[in-house]
Amino acid sequence: MQEGGILGKCAYQLSEVFMKIEYPTRFEVYHNNSMAITDCNQQPLRARGVHCARHSQRRSEKRWTVWQGPGVSQRKTRSQGDAALAKEGAHVTATDINGEKLRELDGVPGIKTKVVDVTKKDQVEALAKEHEHVDVLFNIAGFVHHGSILNCEEADWDFTMNVNVRSMYLMCKAFLPKMLAKKAGNIINMASVASSIKGVVNRCVYSTSKAAVIGLTKSIATDFIEQGIRCNCICPGTVDTPSLRGRIEAQPDPEQALKDFMARQKTGRMCTAQEVAYLCVYLASDESAYVTGTEQIIDGVILAAVLFGVVWSITEDECLPGGNLFGITILFICALLGGKLVALIRLPKLPPFPPLLGMLLMGFMLRNIPVITNGVYIDYRWSSSLRNIALAVILARAGLGLDPTALRKLKSVCVRLAAGPCMVEACTTALVSHFLMGLPWVWGFILGFVMGAVSPAVVVPSMLLLQKDGYGVEQGIPTLLMAAGSFDDILAITGFTTCFGMAFATGSTWYNLLRGVLEVAGGMVAGIILGFLIQYFPSVDQKYLVMKRSFLVLGLSVFAVFGSTVAGFPGSGGLCTLVLAFLAGLGWGSEKARVEEVVGWAWDVFQPLLFGLIGAEIRVSELEGNTVGLGIATLLIALLVRLLFTYVCVLCAGFNMREKVFIALAWMPKATVQAAIGSTALDMARTKDDKQLQKYGMDVLTVAVLGILLTAPVGALIIGLSGPHLLQRPKNSASGTGAGSEDDNETPVTYESTL
């Protein structure tokens, strides 16, 4: 280990061990007011704890010894953490009362094991004699008795005190002389918030024992501070561990028991073992050399306060009202709440409203309420960067979501439905906006392709609800709409990137047209190269493969979006992202689903940011009534043409008139794609510092937001209301392959868009 602070690389490795500490697993069994203690294999178990030592706290020393003493570690990953310590030069002695559990560590380099019961004085003293000195002692033996003082028998009291307090007394008394001989040592005791800090229902003897641990800690710290001994204790709140889950499952109503646990958590969640681990690492390190005699409380409020303090000390005014970080945080929280509130709106027999509406409206309100606007400020460069990251995430998710099998199984009607209405609406929008709004042709087509995409975020949930009730299933209408939705969006994004590149190119019309085509081609070539690259790198034999692949997909996607702009080819980044994600997924096979899940987590974070920031871009004070009115007129005219052409696209697909009308109506909602690319042109115009281009960009964004607000809720309502009246229920439980199928024997494919 290189000379330096413990909280560097080695501290990270230490946390790998500590974060896997958990409390005794399934140690409470109640039967007729009697109590037995068992482990996972139902074998007798009396006391467990964790004890940690290292050679020399001074940074210049390189040898470490870590004891995981009579305590339980999460067995899935414990060996990895111990091995990581060994790689750093640590000598690890893992102890436990259960020899069978210790054998799981046999063969791990640098790890020794020993069976010890910390409630037995002779075993503790024998353990101490085997080690010349100890630098850090971590006591974690513990038992939780459930009940008030009236439910606590003398045997319960004695047993709990023996395990929770006497074990720490024995360990400290055995190893403290070795620390005093060196005039240096560090003791960490595991206590609890349920102690002298806070009263907890039905934790009488447990709370008393943990209060005693706090007293023991302060006493040792006071008595030996001048001899170089430090002693601290950790006081977690409710920690989510397997033992807790086991106790919950043992309750008559586990679901209600879990809800009761969560109701007591002011932060809405329980503490994790990892969060306790980080504090263990800190107290075991030289960075806490001036800390002794303290009870370190771990709960969500303290963690949030510490996090804010750290961020404030680094960024100063940025995280205070009026700063960018403060504004982004408030926007994110409000957008999340807005999405949750809208999702709660449920009308009988209707699909739920899309949460993105609440996110969009929250952003709009934060920008246009004067008192709030001054405090919630976000610089346009920060906003633009976050929206571009969100764009990269959603494009990567869309690329991974494309199914090659679905591509091969697309029927002619699905191809017509995916391409026809999108192209017709784009052309209609370009034509109408050119004459009504005064947009140049290329900007008209930018607006057209922004608005040409349908929103599977609205269509898919609505269709799944109808499909569940059997409407249109025999005709394959839900499958048709969900399949065509993704490809409709890909076509719109491709058309947008082409026109986007042309709009900001300098030169003749033919040159700009050629440049736009070349940007599309360049984006595809770059995507193919990068996609094939990450098919094979990292290799399949590496650890954490899913996380590495997810990082590469997201990292390269963000790089493509930002890098293409820096390189002067802004139209190529989006298509590059789609292609690379699609090709990478092809090479990963069934493992692609796990990467999609991780990318989905990233989208869960950036979705409220994207829609909140889009809503915040609209300032009522800067809007011109003429622009809003003409924008709505353009939108409605283009939608009418789209509806009519959609009806035409499904004329020869075997649907009756009612079903054709329904498909045309369902092909109307706008949302995610409009939010993802609606502001891209405005962001680029701002970098050019051209007022006229900025006006065009704002017009595009305004119409995009109007389209979301008008069509997303109305579209969801129309689908939910008209579906039962226009679609047929299946005559039997078996659904067909879908109308328009050229091969009635083909297996139907169900599609779900990730956009």
Instruction: Give pLDDT tens digits for 366-389.
Output: 888 877 877 788 888 888 888 889
Which among 448-462, 543-557, 722-736 has the top mean pLDDT? 543-557
User: Mean pLDDT over residues 274-280, rounded?
Assistant: 73
* pLDDT value at 529 more than 50: yes
List C-alpha distances in Å: 463 to 418, 427, 645.
16, 28, 21
Greater confidence, 120 or 66? 120
The count of C-alpha atoms lying within 13 angstroms of the C-alpha of 658, restricted to the half-sphere facing its C-beta, is 10
Q: Give the pLDDT of residue 266.
A: 66
User: Mean pLDDT over residues 733-755, rounded?
Assistant: 41
Which of 554-558, 589-593, 602-606, 690-694 has the least mean pLDDT?
A: 589-593
Q: Give the pLDDT of residue 407.
A: 58
> Taking Cα atoms as reference points, which of 8, 92, 103, 104 lies closest to residue 50?
92
Per-residue pLDDT of 226-268, as tens digits, reads 898 999 998 888 777 776 777 777 777 888 778 777 777 766 7
- Are the CB atoms for 324 and 378 separated by under 8 Å? yes
* pLDDT value at 118 more than 50: yes
Average pLDDT score over the chain: 77
If asked whether residues 375 and 250 sit together in one domain, one would say no
pLDDT band at 98 (very low <50, low <70, confident <90, very high): confident
- Are the CB atoms for 563 and 547 separated by under 8 Å? no
- 737 domain residue, yes or no: no
- Are the CB atoms for 444 and 742 separated by under 8 Å? no
How many Cβ atoms are within 10 Å of 579's Cβ, its own excluded?
23
Greater confidence, 79 or 395? 395
- 733 domain residue, yes or no: no
If asked whether residues 261 and 201 sit together in one domain, one would say yes
Q: Are strands 136-139 and 295-298 parallel, antiparallel or unpaired?
A: unpaired
* pLDDT value at 714 more than 60: yes
If asked whether residues 224 and 352 sit together in one domain, one would say no
Q: Give the pLDDT of residue 1.
A: 32
- 747 domain residue, yes or no: no
Residues labelled as active-site residues = 206
How many Cβ atoms are within 10 Å of 31's Cβ, its own excluded?
7
Q: Give the pLDDT of residue 746.
A: 39
User: Mean pLDDT over residues 565-585, rounded?
Assistant: 84
Residue written as token pair 């009396």: 46
* pLDDT value at 46 more than 70: no
Q: What is the CATH number of the domain that holds 302?
A: 3.40.50.720
* pLDDT value at 101 more than 60: yes
pLDDT band at 435 (very low <50, low <70, confident <90, very high): very high
Per-residue pLDDT of 491-505, as tens digits, reads 888 888 888 888 887
Cis peptide bond upstream of 538, omega within 30: yes
* pLDDT value at 452 more than 70: yes
Q: Give the pLDDT of residue 383.
A: 86
If asked whether residues 92 and 211 sit together in one domain, one would say yes
Tokens found for residue 514: 């050629």
CA 345 vs. chain centroid, Å, equals 24
If asked whether residues 579 and 533 sit together in one domain, one would say yes
If asked whether residues 264 and 218 sit together in one domain, one would say yes
% of residues, the chain, pLDDT over 90: 21
Can you tell me the distance from the alpha carbon of 40 to that of 242, in angstroms, rounded to the nearest whole number? 10
* pLDDT value at 40 more than 50: no
> Taking Cα atoms as reference points, which of 148, 167, 169, 151 lies closest to residue 159?
167
Max CA distance (Å), the chain: 94
- 731 domain residue, yes or no: no
Q: Give the pLDDT of residue 262.
A: 78
The 8-class DSSP code of residue 147 comes to: B
Per-residue pLDDT of 200-231, as tens digits, reads 888 899 999 999 999 999 999 999 988 989 99
pLDDT band at 569 (very low <50, low <70, confident <90, very high): confident
Q: Which amino acid is at 558?
A: V
- The conformational region for residue 109 under phi > 0 = left, psi -120 to 50 = alpha, else beta, is beta
Q: Give the pLDDT of residue 298.
A: 63
* pLDDT value at 411 more than 70: no
Per-residue pLDDT of 671-680, as tens digits, reads 888 888 888 8
Can you tell me the distance from the alpha carbon of 116 to that of 656, in angstroms, rounded to the nearest whole number? 78
If asked whether residues 575 and 623 sit together in one domain, one would say yes
* pLDDT value at 92 more than 80: no
List C-alpha distances in Å: 454 to 458, 587, 671, 699, 707.
9, 29, 8, 20, 11
Greater confidence, 752 or 288? 288
Domain count for the chain, please give it.
Answer: 2
If asked whether residues 228 and 340 sit together in one domain, one would say no
Q: Which of 292, 315, 338 corresponds to the end of one domain?
A: 315
Which of 207-216, 278-287, 659-668 has the least mean pLDDT?
A: 278-287
Residue 727 has phi, psi (to 5 degrees) of -105, 155
pLDDT band at 51 (very low <50, low <70, confident <90, very high): very low
pLDDT band at 197 (very low <50, low <70, confident <90, very high): confident
pLDDT band at 665 (very low <50, low <70, confident <90, very high): very high
Q: Which of 259, 292, 315 corresponds to the end of one domain?
A: 315
If asked whether residues 268 and 349 sit together in one domain, one would say no
- 568 domain residue, yes or no: yes
If asked whether residues 247 and 148 sit together in one domain, one would say yes
pLDDT band at 301 (very low <50, low <70, confident <90, very high): low
Can you tell me the distance from the alpha carbon of 555 to that of 559, in angstroms, rounded to the nearest whole number? 6
pLDDT band at 664 (very low <50, low <70, confident <90, very high): very high
- 248 domain residue, yes or no: yes
Per-residue pLDDT of 626-641, as tens digits, reads 889 999 999 999 999 9
If asked whether residues 415 and 544 sit together in one domain, one would say yes
Q: Which of 281, 315, 349 corresponds to the end of one domain?
A: 315
User: Mean pLDDT over residues 597-622, rounded?
Assistant: 86
Greater confidence, 507 or 11? 507
- Are the CB atoms for 402 and 582 separated by under 8 Å? yes
The dihedral of CA 658, 419, 487, 562: what is its sign?
Answer: negative
Can you tell me the distance from the alpha carbon of 271 to that of 238, in angstroms, rounded to the nearest whole number? 6
* pLDDT value at 39 more than 50: no
- 732 domain residue, yes or no: no
The 8-class DSSP code of residue 203 comes to: B
User: Mean pLDDT over residues 497-521, rounded?
Assistant: 76
The 8-class DSSP code of residue 165 comes to: I
Range of the domain at 643: 320-726
pLDDT band at 474 (very low <50, low <70, confident <90, very high): confident
Q: Give the pLDDT of residue 696.
A: 93
Can you tell me the distance from the alpha carbon of 213 to that of 191, in angstroms, rounded to the nearest whole number? 6
The 8-class DSSP code of residue 266 comes to: T
Q: What is the CATH number of the domain that holds 713?
A: 1.20.1530.20
- 587 domain residue, yes or no: yes
Q: Give the pLDDT of residue 158.
A: 93
Greater confidence, 565 or 59? 565
* pLDDT value at 437 more than 70: yes
* pLDDT value at 408 more than 80: no
* Secondary structure class of 504 (helix, strand, coil): coil
If asked whether residues 252 and 328 sit together in one domain, one would say no
List C-alpha distances in Å: 611 to 126, 330, 367, 380, 460.
64, 14, 13, 15, 19
User: Mean pLDDT over residues 400-427, rounded?
Assistant: 79
Per-residue pLDDT of 66-83, as tens digits, reads 444 444 333 333 333 333
